[in-house]
Amino acid sequence: MSAAVTKQDIQCLTFDLDEETFAVEVHRVREVLDPTKVTKIPRAPDFLLGIINVRGNVIPVVDLHKKLGMPHSNVGNDSRIVVLEADLDGEITTLGALADAVREVTDLNGADIEPAPKIGSRWKSEFIEGIGKLGEDFVILLNIDRVFSSEELAYMQDVSGEDTDDTE
C-alpha cells in the first residue's frame, strides 16, 4: 500500500467505467462536463481522444478505458468528461477523462481501503491507490499521477499549449 493511503477518510468523486466503479480524490477534480466535440490531434497516442475548449483553455481528453486496458465504450447519455489535475514532477497538468457515468462525491472510509491486489486484477496495480467499499460495492481508487507516465503527461501539457487548428 502506498504512503498516500492512510486510515483517514478520503473524499472522492466516483464514476463508472465498463460496469466498474472508480474514484479519484475530489481535490484532483476541477469540474464535470457534458460530452462535447473533441478535436482530434494527428499522431496522438491512442488513449488521447483529442482536445476540447473549456472557457478558453485547451484541455486534452483521454479515454481511460484504453489507458486501463478495458474495452472502449461509446459515449452515451450518462457519459461525462471529468476534468482532473495530475501532478507531473510538481507541475500540475489539467486533463479531461471520459467516464461512462459520474456517480457522486462521497467519503471512503480509510479503514476500509485495502491495497490493490498484485494478481488477479485486470488493471495495472500501480495505477490503483487502493480498493474501498461503498455499501456492498467495491470502489477502485485511482492514482491519477501514476495512470500516465511523465512522458505522456508532458505530451498532454504540450498539447494544452497548442492552438486547436488541425493543420500541420
Average pLDDT over residues 97-113: 91
- Quick check: 22 and 140 in contact, CB under 8 A? yes
- Quick check: 108 and 141 in contact, CB under 8 A? yes
Residue spans per domain, the chain: 10-161
Is the predicted pLDDT of residue 14 greater than 70, yes or no? yes
- Quick check: 130 and 26 in contact, CB under 8 A? no
2-38: b or e for each residue (b if 16 or more CB lie within 10 Å)? Answer: eeebeeeebebbbbbbeebbbbbbeebbeeebebeeb
- 151 or 167, higher pLDDT: 151
- Quick check: 114 and 33 in contact, CB under 8 A? no
Task: Please return the burial class of 149, using the count of CB atoms within 10 Å of its CB with bins 0-12, 13-18 and 19+.
Answer: exposed
Average pLDDT over residues 113-129: 71
Instruction: Dig out the grid coordinates for 66 from the structure.
Output: 484504453
For domain 10-161, the question of CATH label 2.40.50.180 is answered with yes
What is the pLDDT of the chain when averaged over all its residues? Answer: 83
Model confidence at 89, pLDDT cuts 50, 70, 90, reads: confident
C-alpha angle 139/126/129, rounded to 5°?
35
User: Which run of H or E residues covers position 43?
Assistant: none
Instruction: Dig out the grid coordinates for 109 from the structure.
Output: 472510509
